[in-house]
Amino acid sequence: MQNLKPIIANNISSLRQVRNMTQSDLASKLNYSDKAVSKWERAESMPDVAVLKEIADLFSVTLDYLVTDNESKSDKVVDDASSVYDSSDTKGLTASLYETDNTLDESVSIPPDKNEYQTSDKSNVSTTEKYKNRFIYMSSPLRKHGFITGMSIILVWLVATLAFVLANIFIRNTFYHWLAFVYAIPVSAIVWLVFNSLWFNKRRNYFIISLLMWSSLLSIVISLLPLGKRMLLILILGIPGQIIIYMWSGLKKKVELTD
């Protein structure tokens, strides 16, 4: 079986250049990093089926076009046309060239010109096409994972709100009621850290860990503040903690470069 990685890499690169797009432009439209697009075009990795469908729709080609060696097809069609040209029969030449031209149109789905995109009337898009694009948008793994992460964090704040309401109803001392929202910050950071480690850029973990550390220290300080303002000294612990996180991130980066 022919290796699909170089074929897909060549097709994505060709389509992107036809549209005068940079790797960053394509990455932005797909909600991926430009490093991921670069790896695709160097055939070091291959996008999954959902992302391939997004790319096909973006460039108005079929999935079959993305996974087919279109350059080989084009060369074959040109060779066939050259052999027909050697014939002395003018009518046969015309008919063969006509068939060759049709074969080229069927085998290579050429994306529309950039100007055609700009002059197209958006009002002509059918309702079915709109629903189809919406389904493709939601079927992207990155968007689904972002939706799940966001819903999980919102759930944390929903629980914090519920705790605040119940505390106000059943507990007379009102000082600690609003601490439910303060504690929701480090809990949200924990949820974000877990999902980011599973699905997203792990380099962002260092920022999330910093947020978790400072919000946890702040929660402790606010909880102990009735004991005196000296409790603010607890925040000093965040300084060496932040230095450790920074040095850890630099160490991990060097290890990745070495690998």
pLDDT band at 190 (very low <50, low <70, confident <90, very high): very high
Distance CA 34, CA 110 (A): 25
Give the model's pLDDT for residue 209: 92
- Model confidence pLDDT, tens digit, residues 139-151: 567 788 888 999 9
- Model confidence pLDDT, tens digit, residues 13-51: 889 898 888 988 888 888 888 888 888 888 888 888 888
Distance CA 256, CA 241 (A): 23
Give yes or no: residues 117 and 64 share one domain: yes
Give yes or no: residues 14 and 130 share one domain: yes
In this predicted model, which residue has the larger pLDDT, 130 or 244? Answer: 244
Give yes or no: residues 173 and 97 share one domain: no
Which helix (H) or strand (E) element contains residue 34?
helix 34-41
Give yes or no: residues 31 and 94 share one domain: no
The number of residues in the chain equals 259
Give yes or no: residues 191 and 229 share one domain: yes
In this predicted model, which residue has the larger pLDDT, 97 or 174? Answer: 174
Mean per-residue pLDDT, 177-196: 89
Give yes or no: residues 83 and 158 share one domain: no
In this predicted model, which residue has the larger pLDDT, 124 or 155? Answer: 155
pLDDT band at 189 (very low <50, low <70, confident <90, very high): very high
Quote the radius of gyration of the chain (alpha carbons, Å): 29
Closest CA to 19 of 118, 106, 101: 118
Structurally, how many domains does the chain consist of?
3
Distance CA 13, CA 16 (A): 5
Provide the token pair at 230. 């000296």
Distance CA 120, CA 117 (A): 5
Give the model's pLDDT for residue 9: 87
Domain CATH code at residue 37: 1.10.260.40
Residue 147: domain span = 140-258
8 Å CB contact between 128 and 137: no
Domain boundary residue among 107, 129, 155?
A: 107
Give yes or no: residues 96 and 36 share one domain: no
Give yes or no: residues 254 and 172 share one domain: yes
Give yes or no: residues 254 and 213 share one domain: yes
Mean per-residue pLDDT, 164-192: 83
Give the model's pLDDT for residue 109: 47
Residue 26 burial (CB < 10 Å; 0-12/13-18/19+)?
buried
